[in-house]
Chains A and B, each alone.
Chain A
């Protein structure tokens, strides 16, 4: 098990590691947009479960491959327990990885598949047998051991991939690259719970790449949210939900995501379109110190309906309501900005205008997409 640390890590494809940007090998990243992974530093604690969350092409797989050693970063260092492993191969780093599609050795039995990493490391047969049976026990696969791996279902194959990581006692971390993509929903749930159990049992450092927020939030202690090659926030579910560091986190986490709307600041306060919001003095003072475009963010869960003409509430036009049983999702437009609100399902709403209270304790403000701390 290992504590993983990144120091000023960055990666641009096509740039050879160790070559100073601007030297004549390949194009040097001219701006931050040219990086597949923008410069960052971070620590992942030993025994923690981390998830890398973001849309396709956000750089999460690049980061994972840098951890595993399949990709050598063009800048910065990767440390395992303080040891610089940047230049090391996956084998030397002693990590295990589970891929998107199950990778199994077709001609081998389940037993041989699980024993393969140990046999490659010339471990005595008795020890191999012991470890394989322990792992099969954990994965609940003891009965499948003598069977041919190629005849098993996708989820069983994925368990074997995981098992090949678990058999080695000394793995630094186990990496998962969207491992549940090919598993059907019901098995997904079971496998995720099993994974969680294994994590608690064995105290492994687990790193899990996914674009599914539910998967990330239920699996990980801490979620690393990425977009456009940049790490925008690292935190637990509560922090991501209540205190998104970046407007992207607000928008990406939650279903539906956070309502984001540009606001204007003048001497007296904050305006959405032409309507004024009522904010407390402290918030207003902080906002006045912030530079850049201001954006208001409020989760649909915290938007309240107000009585007509109530002080500090804004007037909006009802666009549609969707009944979802336990709540109704109200979509309304306020001076060109669309807001969604989760409202009590029994409230009867009529066509026309309604009043929304956007200033709540949970309301956050972003300056140039970065959250303003309050």
Chain B
């Protein structure tokens, strides 16, 4: 292959490069800059190297927030993905019922984050909130401002209520894209309802499920507004997640150095986990689960 050499072609990339520089690279570099300096006043700053990074790593509060955050995101994925898939499967395929279901389902998605927080704050209050009142009257002690467990569960349920519809909508779109012939073939092959789900619907939803998992993971990992409005991170620090902790540091205490160092770590964590999730799902879809693997080998043995 003889490729013509044309260095002027680089000029074509310049506009994009400038845009990306201003939108992503420069802000990121500012953060990098902050993370290696101690800013004493706007005119006074000292280069401190990796000190902030070391300090952040050894910060007990931060480790706590990170732990809570990972558990929270895991719970979100664990509940919202199966629930969303289930909802999508249960939704009618066509007719006015389908439209009605879509509208109802999309409703929570239209509500702004801080309003969601406020809704649940009132909804869950033991004195005037419907949920809180009913729970307490029926003998379940529930007070999200006093009990860490109650606060935790409320935040989780709120997120499930708010975002499961997104997963359901994505899965619904994936399901509708499956041609009828697949269902007909499965019917003719005598497949059970579960087999249809396992071997047709799930594999065909792989693409949208991947998007759903990544979106929900990233969003939940950066959750800020709802718990901030609902519990303010309390009681104690039981619902203080990473971004709230970060905000306290950067804005509340104006510790720009540690906050910047932590922002970078935060960014890398999300990048790393997304990379792992993506590759895992890619492999599950393409390589198939263990059952296929073993069956394939049996096939191979007898083919010899």
**Which residues on A sit within 8 Å (CB–CB) of B295?**
108-109, 111-112, 115
Residues 38 to 66 of chain A near chain B (Cβ within 8 Å)? none
Inter-subunit contact B298/A129 (CB<8 Å): yes
Known interface pairs A100-B181, A101-B179, A120-B195; A111-B188 also in contact (CB < 8 Å) = no
B281 CB, nearest partner CB in chain A, Å: 13
Inter-subunit contact A90/B184 (CB<8 Å): yes
CA distance A277 to B204 in the complex (A): 65
A99: contacting residue among B185, B288, B289, CB under 8 A: B185
B303: contacting residue among A96, A103, A106, A142, CB under 8 A: A142
Asked if B2 lies at the interface with its beta carbon under 8 angstroms from chain A, I say no
**Which residues on B sit within 8 Å (CB–CB) of A101?**
179, 181
**Which residues on A sit within 8 Å (CB–CB) of B185?**
97, 99, 103, 161, 164
Inter-subunit contact B300/A146 (CB<8 Å): yes
Known interface pairs A108-B292, A129-B298; A99-B181 also in contact (CB < 8 Å) = yes
Known interface pairs A107-B203, A148-B288; A117-B189 also in contact (CB < 8 Å) = yes
Inter-subunit contact B302/A129 (CB<8 Å): yes
Q: Which of B184, B188, B200, B303 has its CB near the most chain A CB atoms (within 10 A)?
A: B188
CA distance A99 to B296 in the complex (A): 25
Asked if B15 lies at the interface with its beta carbon under 8 angstroms from chain A, I say no
Asked if B7 lies at the interface with its beta carbon under 8 angstroms from chain A, I say no
**B293 to chain A: closest residue by CB:** A109
Residues 169 to 225 of chain B near chain A (Cβ within 8 Å)? 179, 181-182, 184-185, 187-192, 195, 199-200, 203-204
Inter-subunit contact A70/B299 (CB<8 Å): no
Q: Which of A101, A143, A145 has its CB near the most chain B CB atoms (within 10 A)?
A: A145
Asked if B285 lies at the interface with its beta carbon under 8 angstroms from chain A, I say yes
**Which residues on A sit within 8 Å (CB–CB) of B179?**
101, 103
Asked if B138 lies at the interface with its beta carbon under 8 angstroms from chain A, I say no
Asked if A24 lies at the interface with its beta carbon under 8 angstroms from chain B, I say no
**Which residues on B sit within 8 Å (CB–CB) of A148?**
286, 288, 296
A109: contacting residue among B285, B292, B302, CB under 8 A: B292
| Chain B binding surface, main DSSP class | helix
Asked if A95 lies at the interface with its beta carbon under 8 angstroms from chain B, I say yes
B199: contacting residue among A91, A108, A110, A115, CB under 8 A: A108
**Which residues on A sit within 8 Å (CB–CB) of B253?**
none
Inter-subunit contact B299/A109 (CB<8 Å): yes
Inter-subunit contact B188/A112 (CB<8 Å): no
**Which residues on B sit within 8 Å (CB–CB) of A107?**
199, 203, 285, 288-289, 292
**A142 to chain B: closest residue by CB:** B303
Asked if B41 lies at the interface with its beta carbon under 8 angstroms from chain A, I say no
Asked if B6 lies at the interface with its beta carbon under 8 angstroms from chain A, I say no
Q: Quick one: CB contact mask for B21-37 with A, threshold 8 Å, 1 for yes? A: 00000000000000000
CA distance A213 to B285 in the complex (A): 41
A111: contacting residue among B190, B191, B203, B299, CB under 8 A: B299
**Which residues on A sit within 8 Å (CB–CB) of B296?**
109, 111-112, 146-148
**Which residues on B sit within 8 Å (CB–CB) of A97?**
184-185, 188
Asked if A327 lies at the interface with its beta carbon under 8 angstroms from chain B, I say no
Q: Which of B200, B204, B286, B295 has its CB near the most chain A CB atoms (within 10 A)?
A: B295
B178 CB, nearest partner CB in chain A, Å: 10
CA distance A91 to B183 in the complex (A): 12
Asked if B297 lies at the interface with its beta carbon under 8 angstroms from chain A, I say yes
CA distance A58 to B191 in the complex (A): 31
**Which residues on B sit within 8 Å (CB–CB) of A116?**
189, 191, 199
**Which residues on B sit within 8 Å (CB–CB) of A186?**
none
CA distance A188 to B298 in the complex (A): 31
CA distance A192 to B182 in the complex (A): 23
**B187 to chain A: closest residue by CB:** A90
Binding site for B on A (CB under 8 A): 68, 70, 89-91, 95-97, 99-101, 103, 105-112, 115-117, 120-121, 129, 132-133, 142-143, 145-148, 161, 164
Binding site for A on B (CB under 8 A): 179, 181-182, 184-185, 187-192, 195, 199-200, 203-204, 285-286, 288-289, 292, 295-300, 302-303
28 contacts across the A-B interface (CB closer than 8 A): A68-B188, A96-B188, A97-B184, A97-B185, A97-B188, A99-B184, A101-B179, A103-B179, A106-B203, A107-B199, A107-B288, A108-B292, A109-B295, A111-B298, A112-B292, A116-B189, A116-B199, A117-B189, A121-B190, A143-B303, A145-B299, A145-B300, A145-B303, A146-B299, A146-B300, A148-B296, A164-B185, A164-B189
The 3 closest A-B pairs by CB, nearest first: A111-B299, A146-B300, A120-B190
